[in-house]
Amino acid sequence: MTEKLRVILDTNIFVASIWRGGKSKKIIHSWKSGRIQLVISPAVLREYRFILGKFRSKKDKMAGILGDLSDSSITLLVKPSRRVNLVKDDPDDNKFLECAEAGNADYIVTSDRHLLHLWQHGKCKIITSGELVRLLQ
């Protein structure tokens, strides 16, 4: 059996999966079905909960996503030991890079230009949702 891809999803992927569906929805399905392993840190989890908690009109979908974040068969919680300061224009995004290091992630998936501009952090590639969907086919 091949090892699952370790993936960090920027919060915008969750938001897009709910409002637009498409590629982001396919990625969420791949995570929930166990095809990829989501890597999160406490800081990333806080952002997910904060942002997703704002979508009251989609409360059931949010509850499902937030509940699955605690499923250790599809989600890996890591604790970064090193601070990163590479995203100067949006320092809050550094938490995704820190999580990637701590979790030995293969990919960060995002639509955020500040992260995409970096292309890669260590061995972790920074890609769009479309690129991950193509990799999973």
Q: What is the CATH number of the domain that holds 68?
A: 3.40.50.1010
> Is 128 exposed, middle or buried, given 0-12, 13-18 or 19+ CB atoms closer than 10 A?
middle
Please report the pLDDT score of residue 24 as a whole number.
92
| Range of the structural domain that residue 125 is part of | 5-136
Task: Output 88-94 pairs: Cβ under 8 A, ≥24 positions apart.
Answer: 89/114, 90/114, 92/47, 93/10
User: Sheet of 36-40: strands edge to edge?
Assistant: 75-77, 36-40, 5-9, 107-109, 124-127, 120-121
Give mean pLDDT, residues 94-119.
95
Backbone phi, psi, residue 4, to 5°: -65, 150
Closest C-alpha among 37, 41, 42, 47 to residue 15: 47
pLDDT beyond 60 at 2: no
Q: Quote the number of domains for the chain.
A: 1
Q: At what angle do helices 22-32 and 59-68 cross, to 10 degrees?
A: 40
pLDDT beyond 60 at 1: no
Of 5-9, 41-45, 64-68, 85-89, minimum mean pLDDT range? 64-68
Residues 6+ apart with CB under 8 A from 5: 36, 37, 106, 107, 135, 136
Question: How does pLDDT run across 85-106, given as a tens digit for each residue?
Answer: 888 888 899 999 999 999 999 9
Residue 135 binned pLDDT confidence (cut-offs 50, 70, 90)? very high
Please report the pLDDT score of residue 69 as a whole number.
83
**End-to-end CA, the chain:** 17
Residue 60 binned pLDDT confidence (cut-offs 50, 70, 90)? low
